[in-house]
């Protein structure tokens, strides 16, 4: 009898020890790992970042130096819109303050530095919800991500259509196949979103997926008006970092018609959305390669567009990662508080 009574006690001790260890990792080890990876990333791009810093100094001290301050303000606006979007999405499960939603978004950015970006994003956003709602928020997260992807896909496909129209040489058949696939993917994405209310019932009819149906039950609670508003927020955010990129190109003295610049920027965003990035370092590589490739069709100094691309990465990705480290330690996993 004594042995039996000690089993639950032993389980409680093991759980408490595991929780303390997990919180120690979140509060101390994980931030150190993130900072180390940031330093390692910067070291691997040392030469390019040196050129970026020189270009920033030249641009900032010139007549157009105001662009840098405005770009930083747009960085704050960008992530504020994402926090607003998450606040709206999570509202079907629980009420979140804007500050709490923002903490989750920035913590997700930091966690994405040591994981595949979407996994880190989801982990950070769920980390500030009540324990009972965390897994149930997966459907809300996927809806928000899919809507943001749809906006990027639609804009990028429009840009690709215009890009092929403007190409000086007749584009090969491969370009038209890719364009057709992009338009088809756009339509399929819209169609899948129209069936969001059927996601949970469909999963329930599949025996080995039935247990995960509850994660998508929240999708049934979003009305058409909710989705339209979320599309507006996703479009607002997309427009914000599009303008941000245009400002950086302007600050670095890239002289191209605005429509051509916007075309290349949207193609860059499309490439980043379609090609998976398994780390922030690979995201930087995709970003730099795409920028060089699409701008190679125009008479632009490669050093300028590379510097512009890396500057956007520093301001729009790396800066939120560093800020988000503060909030990683505040994640509520394995804590006793309900929220």
Lowest-confidence segment of 120-124, 142-146, 328-332 by average pLDDT: 328-332
* pLDDT value at 150 more than 60: yes
Instruction: Give the Cα separation of 208 and 220 in Å (integer).
Output: 21
* pLDDT value at 37 more than 60: no
- Cβ contact 109:324 at 8 Å: yes
3-state helix/strand/coil string of the chain: CHHHHHHHHHHHHHHHHHHHHHHHHHHHHHHHHHHHHHHHHHHHCHHHHHHHHHHHHHHHHCCCCHHHHHHHHHHHHHHHHHHHHHHHHHCCCCCCCHHHHHHHHHHHHHHHCCCCHHHHHHHHHHCCCCHHHCHHHHHHHHHHHHHHHHHHHHHHHHHHHHHHHHCCCCCCHHHHHHHHHHHHHHHHHHHHHHCHHHHHHHHHCCHHHHHHHHHHHHHHHCCHHHHHHHHHHHHHHHHHHHHHHHHHHHHCCCCCCHHHHHHHHHHHHHHHHHCCCCCHHHHHHHHHHHHHHHHCCCCCCHHHHHHHHHHHHHHHHHHHHHHHHHHHCCCCCCCCCCC
Give the tens place of pLDDT for each residue, 162-220.
999 887 677 788 889 999 999 999 999 999 999 999 888 888 888 887 888 888 999 99
Q: What pLDDT does 67 receive?
A: 76
Q: What pLDDT does 264 receive?
A: 92
Instruction: Give the Cα separation of 285 and 295 in Å (integer).
Output: 16
Measured CA to CA in angstroms, residue 311 lies from 85, 175, 289 at distances of: 25, 30, 14
334: left (phi over 0), alpha (psi -120 to 50) or beta: left
Give the tens place of pLDDT for each residue, 227-271.
999 999 999 999 999 999 999 888 888 888 899 999 999 999 998
* pTM as predicted: 0.82
Instruction: Quickly state the pLDDT bin for 84 (edges 50, 70, 90).
Output: very high
Q: What pLDDT does 334 receive?
A: 46
What's the whole-number mean pLDDT along residues 70-90? Answer: 94
Instruction: Quickly state the pLDDT bin for 52 (edges 50, 70, 90).
Output: low
Q: What pLDDT does 5 receive?
A: 47
What's the whole-number mean pLDDT along residues 90-115? Answer: 90
Give the tens place of pLDDT for each residue, 257-269.
899 999 999 999 9
What's the whole-number mean pLDDT along residues 275-282? Answer: 56
Instruction: Quickly state the pLDDT bin for 338 (edges 50, 70, 90).
Output: very low
């Amino acid at each position: 009898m004594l042995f039996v009574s000690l089993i639950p006690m032993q389980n409680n001790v093991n759980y408490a020890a595991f929780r303390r260890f997990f919180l120690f990792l979140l509060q101390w080890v994980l931030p150190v790992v993130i900072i180390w990876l940031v330093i390692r990333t910067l070291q691997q791009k040392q030469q390019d970042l040196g050129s970026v810093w020189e270009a920033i100094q030249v641009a900032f001290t010139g007549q157009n130096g105001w662009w840098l301050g405005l770009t930083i303000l747009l960085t704050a606006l960008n992530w504020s819109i994402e926090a607003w979007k998450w606040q709206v999405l999570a509202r079907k499960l629980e009420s979140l303050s804007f500050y709490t939603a923002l903490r989750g978004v920035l913590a997700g950015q930091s966690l994405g530095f040591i994981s595949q970006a979407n996994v880190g994003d989801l982990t950070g956003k769920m980390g500030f919800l009540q324990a009972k709602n965390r897994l149930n928020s997966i459907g809300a997260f996927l809806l928000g991500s899919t809507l943001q992807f749809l906006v990027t896909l639609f804009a990028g496909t429009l840009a690709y259509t215009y890009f092929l129209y403007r190409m000086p040489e007749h584009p090969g058949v491969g370009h038209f196949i890719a364009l057709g696939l992009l338009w088809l993917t756009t339509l399929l994405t819209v169609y899948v979103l129209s069936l969001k209310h059927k996601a949970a019932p469909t999963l329930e009819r599949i025996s080995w997926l039935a247990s995960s149906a509850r994660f998508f039950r929240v999708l049934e609670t979003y009305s058409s008006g909710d989705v339209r508003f979320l599309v507006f927020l996703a479009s607002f955010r997309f427009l914000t970092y599009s303008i941000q990129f245009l400002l950086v190109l302007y600050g670095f003295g890239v002289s191209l018609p605005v429509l051509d610049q916007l075309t290349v920027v949207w193609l860059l965003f499309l490439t980043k959305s379609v090609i998976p990035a398994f780390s922030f370092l690979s995201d930087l590589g995709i970003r730099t390669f795409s920028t060089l490739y699409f701008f190679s069709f125009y008479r632009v100094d490669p050093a300028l567009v590379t510097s512009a691309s890396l500057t956007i990465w520093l301001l729009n990705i790396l800066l939120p990662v560093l800020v988000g480290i503060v909030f990683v330690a505040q994640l509520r996993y394995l804590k006793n508080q309900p929220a």
